[in-house]
Amino acid sequence: MGNLLAQLPALLGVLIGTVGTIVATSLADRSRWRRTQTVRWDERRLDAYAEFARVLKEVHAISGRLLPGRSGVQVDRERELANLVEADFRHTLAWESVLLLGDGPTVTAARAWRDAVWAIERVARGTPTDDLPELLHRANEARDHFYDAARGGLGVGGGSVAQATLLEGRLRERDLPPTATRPPVDRPAGSR
């Protein structure tokens, strides 16, 4: 009995050390699992946001080509309307992913951008408006807010889309000879 009492502190030390190791390993494994899940869902969320942005820009670009007096190029209206229907379908699928995976501020910003582009699409389909420049501006601003919200939700840094577009335009103008006129930009009407 005296021998057991002499060894009891050592046995308790081993037992406490073993339990501590098991608890620490369990907590580390749980933390690692949570990080892995966060990265996994952030990747899916990023893919959903990128696909949504891509198809919404496609809807915007097609609508821009259909706007009266905006394109400068003869377009096959029936073909472009068919392209718009297809793009709208892809947009609907992408929108569902944003709704499923997006955080609140990003979904709200995505909805505002979608609604702004839909207003342009309605004009492209024939709804008259006197406020087309404001609709185009609103769509661009809503796009910027979407990107800001998506970056914030993903914890990704980045500058303003509006500032990048402004800088791009200034660089292009700077590279022109002083007497040259600015060439037409190869972008759909209404986009930056």
Q: Please tell me the predicted confidence (pLDDT) of residue 166.
A: 55
What domains sit in the chain, N to C, each tagged with a CATH number?
39-174 (1.20.1420)
Q: In the prediction, which pLDDT does 185 show?
A: 39
Q: Is this model's pTM higher than 0.75 or not?
A: no
Three-state SS sequence of 118-176: HHHHHHHCCCCCCCHHHHHHHHHHHHHHHHHHHHHHHCCCCCCHHHHHHHHHHHHHHCC
Blockwise average pLDDT, block size 10, the chain, 192 residues: 73 78 76 65 92 97 86 82 95 96 96 97 90 93 95 84 55 44 42 44
Measured between its terminal Cα atoms, the distance across the chain in Å is 86
Q: Which pLDDT does position 20 carry in this prediction? A: 79
The pLDDT of residue 75 is: 84
